[in-house]
Amino acid sequence: IEEKFDAIVVGAGMGGNAAALTMAERGLKVLQLERGEYSGSKNVQGAILYADMLEKLIPDFREDAPLERHLVEQRFWIMDERSHTGLHYRSDDFNEEKPNRYTIIRAQFDKWFSQKVREAGATVLCETTVTELLQDSHGRVVGVRTDRDGGEIHADVVVLAEGVNGVLGTGAGIRELPKSDKVALAVKEMHFLSRETIDARFNLKGDEGVVIEAVGTISRGMTGMGFIYSNKECISLGIGCLVADFQRTGETPYGLLEGFKRHPSVAPLIEGSEVKEYSAHLIPEGGYKAIPQLCGEGWVVVGDAAQLNNAIHREGSNLAMTSGRIAAEAICLIKSRNDPMTAKNLSLYKKMLNDSFVIKDLKKYKDMPAVLHTHSQNFFLTYPQLFSKAMQDYVRVDGTPKLEKEKLMLNSFIKARSWSGLFSDALRIARAWR
């Protein structure tokens, strides 16, 4: 391509699409490059879509977006080998005119999102891998090289939306690949069942949906969690743990997934299903302290590539969309002033992002990843087992006086963790939660 663009966006996931759409709608000449056959072909998500962040980009998205179910119920399970203790929240308030959260299937959703980017006027090229960032003699990013013939393309600014394991920034020496204790590996299967079966098993009607998130012995003492999301005619089920923990324990992702599926609380939900899809993907989980440099001379980085993922609340796509939109807004503002895309000018993106929920939320939980990882054995194995045992003792009626039962329950916690251990664990979590 001979012509020069105002902006090149690398990647057509949530972050890249948000950035390309915002800039194209504001009249910038945008080229978006995606290595996959189509937008979404390489992307994996649970997947919960957070409407608020998409509404800011496409206010009327509900009219034609491929949405699965809107969520009316959130279940959080603490599991041991044979039981789960649940915290469930269900409300008819979520049956609102404009629901707040939906399940989606990324391959379909990203295709639709990409069409909106094209309609806004951006040039979108799929099956095109960006192999290198072009830098001038001062190290300024001036464009990209692709795997296509003669694939050198120039632009004022490059938006890196290449996802968690994007190698461009690292190749150019402008950022590092996340370390194994800052990234989780998740595996996911799609279990197909009839709509009626899903409705009956999850107590749903119409387009209502349920999310189940689970921690406990399913991750075998590693920092991680399992999830079950209801779609219209299939169930997304998966589990992910820190890569460093897989390395340390020698456990395998598929081994964990099999264990999760066989759990007596999970097996009846997927019984008789047909598995048509299996995928694996990394999730950035280093939090605030793992965020790399967000911009430099002629470039910005958004979404998973910038480690913008809130693992505590299982939010990623909304942070990607928001950072993509904000980066694009900053670029448009700089462009409208006819200013160059220098690191100093592009730091406007960082400033705007700092003022948003993205950085505020990640900052709030800045110590949580390290606390959970360092004490994973306690939080993901010992406590779930203690909770389950305590709950069983509590609900089982066997003639033991209640006061005696309560003493036994308390003693089981003290025996496993000691008073000082219990106190320290509570303090650690409380401090990291602030």
**Positions that interact with ligand FAD (CB under 6 A):** 10-16, 33-36, 42-48, 129-130, 161-163, 166, 168, 186, 188, 238, 240, 281, 283, 303-305, 309, 314-318, 320
Instruction: Please report how close the Cβ of residue 243 comes to ligand FAD at its closest, in angstroms.
Output: 12
Instruction: Please report how close the Cβ of residue 400 comes to ligand FAD at its closest, in angstroms.
Output: 42
Nearest Cα to Cα of residue 114 among 51, 2, 1, 24: 24
Residues 298 and 157: beta-carbon distance below 8 Å: yes
DSSP state at residue 384: H
Describe the crossing of helices 343-354 and 357-364 by its angle, rounded to 10 degrees.
70
By beta-carbon proximity to ligand FAD, the closer residue of 42 and 116 is 42
Query: Any bridge partners for residue 185, and if so which?
Result: 241, 282
Rounded CA gap, 429 and 434, in Å? Answer: 9
Greatest C-alpha distance within the chain: 84
By beta-carbon proximity to ligand FAD, the closer residue of 212 and 381 is 212
By beta-carbon proximity to ligand FAD, the closer residue of 109 and 413 is 109
By beta-carbon proximity to ligand FAD, the closer residue of 83 and 259 is 259
Instruction: Please report how close the Cβ of residue 160 comes to ligand FAD at its closest, in angstroms.
Output: 9
Identity of the residue numbered 226 = G
Instruction: Please report how close the Cβ of residue 270 comes to ligand FAD at its closest, in angstroms.
Output: 17
Rounded CA gap, 224 and 370, in Å? Answer: 13
By beta-carbon proximity to ligand FAD, the closer residue of 80 and 209 is 209
Instruction: Please report how close the Cβ of residue 187 comes to ligand FAD at its closest, in angstroms.
Output: 8
Other beta carbons less than 10 A from residue 3's beta carbon = 10
Instruction: Please report how close the Cβ of residue 226 comes to ligand FAD at its closest, in angstroms.
Output: 10
Instruction: Please report how close the Cβ of residue 273 comes to ligand FAD at its closest, in angstroms.
Output: 18
By beta-carbon proximity to ligand FAD, the closer residue of 43 and 385 is 43
Buried b or exposed e, range 225-262, using 16+ CB within 10 angstroms:
bbbbbbbeebbbbbbbbbbbbbeeeebebeebbebbbe
Instruction: Please report how close the Cβ of residue 399 comes to ligand FAD at its closest, in angstroms.
Output: 46
Nearest Cα to Cα of residue 329 among 7, 116, 22, 15: 22
Nearest Cα to Cα of residue 70 among 37, 48, 55: 48
Residue with tokens 């120039």: 154
Nearest Cα to Cα of residue 223 among 75, 375, 86, 80: 375
By beta-carbon proximity to ligand FAD, the closer residue of 35 and 428 is 35
Instruction: Please report how close the Cβ of residue 124 comes to ligand FAD at its closest, in angstroms.
Output: 11
* SS3 of residue 287 by DSSP: coil
By beta-carbon proximity to ligand FAD, the closer residue of 90 and 314 is 314
By beta-carbon proximity to ligand FAD, the closer residue of 129 and 347 is 129
Identity of the residue numbered 52 = D
Torsion of CA 219, 224, 229, 234, to 10 degrees: -60
Rounded CA gap, 14 and 47, in Å? Answer: 12
By beta-carbon proximity to ligand FAD, the closer residue of 36 and 296 is 36
* SS3 of residue 95 by DSSP: coil
By beta-carbon proximity to ligand FAD, the closer residue of 10 and 28 is 10
Measured in degrees and rounded to the nearest 5, phi and psi for residue 394 equal -70, -40
By beta-carbon proximity to ligand FAD, the closer residue of 17 and 388 is 17
Instruction: Please report how close the Cβ of residue 14 comes to ligand FAD at its closest, in angstroms.
Output: 4
Q: How many helices (H) and strands (E) does the chain have?
A: 15, 17
| CA-based torsion, 50, 51, 52, 55: positive or negative | positive
Instruction: Please report how close the Cβ of residue 314 comes to ligand FAD at its closest, in angstroms.
Output: 6
Residue with tokens 């609900």: 395
Q: What is the CA radius of gyration of the chain?
A: 23
Residue with tokens 């939320």: 361
Instruction: Please report how close the Cβ of residue 113 comes to ligand FAD at its closest, in angstroms.
Output: 10
